[in-house]
A and B are shown apart, each in its own frame.
Chain A
């Protein structure tokens, strides 16, 4: 196996990828509305937000004029108004997941707290958007319109409660709702008591969407309910959270005890036998809300990783300039730290992670846009058939499982094997298409939140370490230290990593998802045959290994004969979820690069230099796939073997050879002696036990797995050459003279 690319110098990256390239990769090249909001958000981020950070605006927990001022900028730039529908004078019609993703990306490029402050309004409204009545939607959208002037409302979302109540586990609600007054003719009045913990935007909130449980036999179950500042009772914003991150957003522990009409129950209610039955439990609403809002958080960390590239390159290049001994024109002057391979390689790792995270995050928000549209269609269709509520929907969807799996196969067929009639028939059934989207989004939503923020935080640390001591100072260009710390919050709020892993461990075993996954694996091989440099083949092997491992763990038992793949067994399910995320992020990045390869030539701006850009981006893909494969291999091997008991010398000595025996056979089978360790045990005549833990493990029954492992090692071929090429590109690429936001 050789790598031809080393012989001739291939074209490489000339400038940092610009908007034109990103628009193609993240699929909004034809959305001028989105391109415009990107620009107006960017101006706010790199202008007032960056100035506030540079002035030390983050150095206090308190809500300040400077922080409040940012809301005005969001209002003017159309960021606040992005939530409004055209009926309320808004510029964007739903779905808006990609829209919010792009806004979050631009703000987080400079400061994630600014993004949080802006997005928390959307989060506050999200329960109403997802499950609210039309009246509630209209009312609060109109109230949130910046044009409402002094009467403009802003919201907070209050789920989390003081310990020991809601945290990761959202079922144990301390917040309560009771009937306060209920006259025969009038609407019931409810008394709502909710203490929140870590509630974002509490300084500016004039309404709160709160999760509460019934404390009254005349109210059934739990619900989410809207509380307003002017309601009768206590609206105490509470103490500010002494947080170390995202300081441009406000966070407080509010104490709310208010009397509100029952019409504030989100999604409405019915009354049966004198009992108020909310149409949606808090759990149902939260599920719908987080599915969407978490995706945006994943995009935030991705933005920060990509934002680190330019400042790090500039720092590296200029590191030794100005010193008496470093003359202009010398390599030390021109390249600075970029003379050192490790500086380059580590930056490539950060860049590759950022790319994969951005691809994964934007894939998620785009998919959710499709999901939102299709879900409405499906709900309408089911309603026509008289099917309402979650359970009926699930049953209807389950009924088309086979069709959905069939459709995956049909879509993949090419040429004569295609069955257009059957495919069109299945595509024509919204339920079938929805089931596919549902299976996919159930995995990639928690997946991108988990991987982007969790691993992203780790890589953010790498980014600042490349800046040396400067990295952990306030003066560090690009605010990298802030971004690192902030990433930890992104990994925590809207459900910390454990929550995402828990969800993945359930959804990734769904048969429709697994059918998709198998198809994606085949697709990656096809990609590899056309674009061998992308790392797609490496990834395909890792995908096969992951699937084999999952299937194995589903039936295997540990040394104590206990089932392995089991919900409480988070030591098995969680790492496997992590491994899947590595795969999915890499996969989406490769697909985005292919999109650029396909569509780039159509745009003359992108076409210029495209070959070099693609070479570089594909090299990044190769680096990332190799890294992902490594992680998958490590995790799978630990899980497959880690739960078996290691053989001990006092177990029966089957498979042991005497040393003399092996030496004799070496003449017949050269290399046997070297291989004997691991395949079978060689006992030395003069000592009963070799100096190790016990006889080496037998691989009987694991042949497929060991073959994957060996194959995957081979698949790494060329990945380091790709890294070398990408690293070299870092020394050549043109960057601007200065950062376009203050420090």
Chain B
């Protein structure tokens, strides 16, 4: 790959998972209680995609990473204060509501428009990364629709690993049932990869990287235009959070094995 890949990572933001998430009706439709006021993080699946993208870009000279995000820009800005310190990227932002109640089709359309407007977009070498689903919705539809809109038919979902072969082909590991992976080979870009967790840990914060990224992050946040997510065709008949009981017990003297045994015993009843 002489000129490397252009890796475009699509990522929204979601409320910090420690927060209480309570669906409520708002004047703009369904939303989460106090959503704007809750701290947000980059959608976890998409974060993995970003870290994998940065890693790939580092190993494929000439590559670059663009992060495209459709989110409320003031919230996105807060998220950037951490995220920008993780890995190098350029940001393209569109200002729109976040959350699990937007229409995946609308979001994909906004993303497609934003991606097509990237000045030096290199379609031939485009790797379109994202999460295989979102922590706020879990429908797993956005990346697939987006790929279709951009005319990219090679699509892989639940990706945990990508390797560039000596011939420049892509070898991709996708999650399938039973904790196993399916190995596929694909001729190369353009391709859509919906990431599961990948293999990389979350990079530590590095303020040097952060300051570098900020040079493009702040201007693109300022430029971010409001995107219309009409949601006209979408109605929710009912909204319910999955019933979950959260019980915290502090154990300091148990080994991981003992804890695992106790959990297994509890599951078995």
Q: Which residues of A contact B (CB under 8 A)?
A: 14-15, 18-20, 32-33, 35-40, 43, 54, 76-78, 81, 91, 475, 603-606, 608-609, 734-738, 740, 743
CB-CB nearest in chain A for B18:
A736
Q: Is B210 an interface residue (CB 8 A)?
A: yes
A15→B74 contact, CB < 8 A: no
Q: Is B44 an interface residue (CB 8 A)?
A: no
Give the residue of A38, A39, A737 whose beta carbon is less than 8 angstroms from that of B18: A737
Q: Once bound together, how far apart are the Cα atoms of A604 and B78, in whole Å?
A: 12
A736→B74 contact, CB < 8 A: no
Q: Which residues of chain B are near A76, meaning CB under 8 Å?
A: 204, 206
A19→B205 contact, CB < 8 A: no
A39→B38 contact, CB < 8 A: no
Q: Which residues of chain B are near A40, meaning CB under 8 Å?
A: 82, 85, 205-207, 210
A-facing residues in B201-252 (Cβ within 8 Å) = 204-208, 210-211, 214, 218, 246, 248, 250, 252
Q: Which residues of chain B are near A15, meaning CB under 8 Å?
A: 34, 37-38
Q: Which residues of chain B are near A743, meaning CB under 8 Å?
A: 250
B84→A91 contact, CB < 8 A: no
Closest Cβ of chain A: how far from B209's Cβ, in Å? 10
Q: Which residues of chain A are near B218, meaning CB under 8 Å?
A: 32
Q: Which residues of chain A are near B39, meaning CB under 8 Å?
A: 18-19
B36→A36 contact, CB < 8 A: no
Q: Is B81 an interface residue (CB 8 A)?
A: yes
A-facing residues in B65-101 (Cβ within 8 Å) = 72, 74-75, 78, 81-82, 84-85
B127-153 vs A, CB cutoff 8 Å, 1 = contact: the mask equals 000000000000000000000000000
CB-CB nearest in chain B for A742:
B250
Give the residue of A77, A475, A608 whose beta carbon is less than 8 angstroms from that of B36: A608
Q: Is B19 an interface residue (CB 8 A)?
A: yes
Q: Which residues of chain A are near B169, meaning CB under 8 Å?
A: none
Further pairs besides A54-B252, A76-B206, A604-B36: 17, Cβ < 8 Å: A15-B34, A15-B37, A32-B218, A36-B210, A36-B211, A37-B207, A40-B207, A91-B207, A91-B208, A475-B250, A603-B74, A604-B72, A605-B74, A608-B37, A609-B37, A736-B18, A738-B18
- Top 8 A-B pairs ranked by shortest CB distance? A40-B205, A78-B207, A608-B36, A736-B18, A39-B82, A605-B74, A35-B81, A15-B37
Q: Once bound together, how far apart are the Cα atoms of A734 and B20, in whole Å?
A: 8
Q: Which residues of chain A are near B84, meaning CB under 8 Å?
A: 36
A605→B75 contact, CB < 8 A: yes
Q: Once bound together, how far apart are the Cα atoms of A54 and B252, in whole Å?
A: 9
Q: Which residues of chain B are near A605, meaning CB under 8 Å?
A: 36-37, 72, 74-75, 78
CB-CB nearest in chain A for B202:
A43
Chain A to chain B contacts (Cβ below 8 Å), 13 pairs: A15-B34, A37-B207, A38-B81, A39-B81, A39-B205, A40-B205, A40-B210, A43-B82, A77-B204, A605-B36, A735-B20, A740-B16, A740-B18
Closest Cβ of chain B: how far from A476's Cβ, in Å? 10
Q: Once bound together, how far apart are the Cα atoms of A36 and B81, in whole Å?
A: 5
CB-CB nearest in chain A for B76:
A605
A-facing residues in B1-28 (Cβ within 8 Å) = 16, 18-20
Q: Is B58 an interface residue (CB 8 A)?
A: no
User: Given A32-B214, A604-B72, A736-B18, A43 and B37 touching (CB < 8 A)?
Assistant: no
Q: Which residues of chain A are near B246, meaning CB under 8 Å?
A: 737-738
Q: Which residues of chain A are near B208, meaning CB under 8 Å?
A: 78, 91
Q: Which residues of chain A are near B250, meaning CB under 8 Å?
A: 475, 743
Give the residue of B36, B74, B205, B211 whose beta carbon is less than 8 angstroms from that of A609: B36
Chain B binding surface SS class: loop
CB-CB nearest in chain A for B95:
A604
Q: Once bound together, how far apart are the Cα atoms of A38 and B36, in whole Å?
A: 21
A20→B78 contact, CB < 8 A: yes
Closest Cβ of chain A: how far from B234's Cβ, in Å? 23
Q: Once bound together, how far apart are the Cα atoms of A84 and B208, in whole Å?
A: 13
Q: Once bound together, how far apart are the Cα atoms of A19 and B107, in whole Å?
A: 27
A33→B211 contact, CB < 8 A: yes
A-facing residues in B27-47 (Cβ within 8 Å) = 33-34, 36-39
CB-CB nearest in chain B for A13:
B37
Q: Which residues of chain A are near B85, meaning CB under 8 Å?
A: 36, 39-40
CB-CB nearest in chain B for A743:
B250
Q: Which residues of chain B are near A33, meaning CB under 8 Å?
A: 207, 211, 214
Give the residue of A36, A475, A609 whose beta carbon is less than 8 angstroms from that of B207: A36
User: Given A15-B38, A78-B208, A736 and B20 touching (CB < 8 A)?
Assistant: yes
CB-CB nearest in chain B for A36:
B210
A77→B37 contact, CB < 8 A: no
A736→B19 contact, CB < 8 A: yes
CB-CB nearest in chain A for B84:
A36
Closest Cβ of chain B: how far from A21's Cβ, in Å? 9
Q: Once bound together, how far apart are the Cα atoms of A399 and B19, in whole Å?
A: 58
A737→B19 contact, CB < 8 A: yes
Q: Which residues of chain A are near B34, meaning CB under 8 Å?
A: 14-15, 609, 734
Closest Cβ of chain B: how far from A455's Cβ, in Å? 30
Q: Once bound together, how far apart are the Cα atoms of A603 and B36, in whole Å?
A: 11
CB-CB nearest in chain B for A38:
B81
Q: Which residues of chain A are near B18, meaning CB under 8 Å?
A: 736-738, 740
Q: Which residues of chain B are near A19, meaning CB under 8 Å?
A: 39, 78, 81
A14→B37 contact, CB < 8 A: yes
Q: Which residues of chain A are near B81, meaning CB under 8 Å?
A: 19, 32, 35-36, 38-39
Closest Cβ of chain A: how far from B219's Cβ, in Å? 12
CB-CB nearest in chain B for A39:
B82
User: Given A605-B36, A609-B34, A737 and B20 touching (CB < 8 A)?
Assistant: yes
CB-CB nearest in chain A for B205:
A40
CB-CB nearest in chain B for A23:
B78
Q: Which residues of chain B are near A43, meaning CB under 8 Å?
A: 82, 204-205
Q: Which residues of chain A are near B214, meaning CB under 8 Å?
A: 32-33, 36
CB-CB nearest in chain B for A477:
B250
Q: Which residues of chain A are near B210, meaning CB under 8 Å?
A: 36, 40
Q: Which residues of chain A are near B207, meaning CB under 8 Å?
A: 33, 36-37, 40, 77-78, 81, 91
Q: Once bound together, how far apart are the Cα atoms of A737 and B16, in whole Å?
A: 10
A738→B82 contact, CB < 8 A: no
Q: Once bound together, how far apart are the Cα atoms of A19 and B37, in whole Å?
A: 10
Q: Once bound together, how far apart are the Cα atoms of A743 and B16, in whole Å?
A: 19
Which of B75, B207, B218, B250 counts the most A-chain CB atoms under 10 A from its CB?
B207
Q: Once bound together, how far apart are the Cα atoms of A209 and B247, in whole Å?
A: 51
Closest Cβ of chain A: how far from B202's Cβ, in Å? 9
Q: Which residues of chain B are near A740, meaning CB under 8 Å?
A: 16, 18
Q: Which residues of chain A are near B75, meaning CB under 8 Å?
A: 605
Q: Which residues of chain B are near A78, meaning CB under 8 Å?
A: 205-208
Q: Which residues of chain A are near B20, meaning CB under 8 Å?
A: 734-737
Q: Which residues of chain B are near A603, meaning CB under 8 Å?
A: 74
A734→B33 contact, CB < 8 A: yes
Closest Cβ of chain A: how far from B262's Cβ, in Å? 18
Closest Cβ of chain B: how far from A339's Cβ, in Å? 20
Closest Cβ of chain A: how far from B87's Cβ, in Å? 14
Q: Once bound together, how far apart are the Cα atoms of A15 and B21, in whole Å?
A: 12
Q: Once bound together, how far apart are the Cα atoms of A32 and B250, in whole Å?
A: 37
Q: Once bound together, how far apart are the Cα atoms of A111 and B162, in whole Å?
A: 41
Q: Once bound together, how far apart are the Cα atoms of A19 and B39, in whole Å?
A: 8
A738→B248 contact, CB < 8 A: yes
Closest Cβ of chain B: how far from A556's Cβ, in Å? 53
Closest Cβ of chain B: how far from A106's Cβ, in Å? 12
Which of B205, B248, B252 counts the most A-chain CB atoms under 10 A from its CB?
B205
Q: Once bound together, how far apart are the Cα atoms of A40 and B84, in whole Å?
A: 11
Q: Once bound together, how far apart are the Cα atoms of A77 and B246, in whole Å?
A: 33
Q: Which residues of chain B are near A91, meaning CB under 8 Å?
A: 207-208, 211
Closest Cβ of chain B: how far from A379's Cβ, in Å? 30
Closest Cβ of chain B: how far from A522's Cβ, in Å? 36
Which of A33, A36, A43 counts the most B-chain CB atoms under 10 A from its CB?
A36
CB-CB nearest in chain A for B15:
A736
Which of A734, A740, A743 counts the most B-chain CB atoms under 10 A from its CB?
A734
CB-CB nearest in chain A for B33:
A734
CB-CB nearest in chain B for A602:
B74
CB-CB nearest in chain B for A37:
B207
Q: Which residues of chain B are near A475, meaning CB under 8 Å?
A: 250
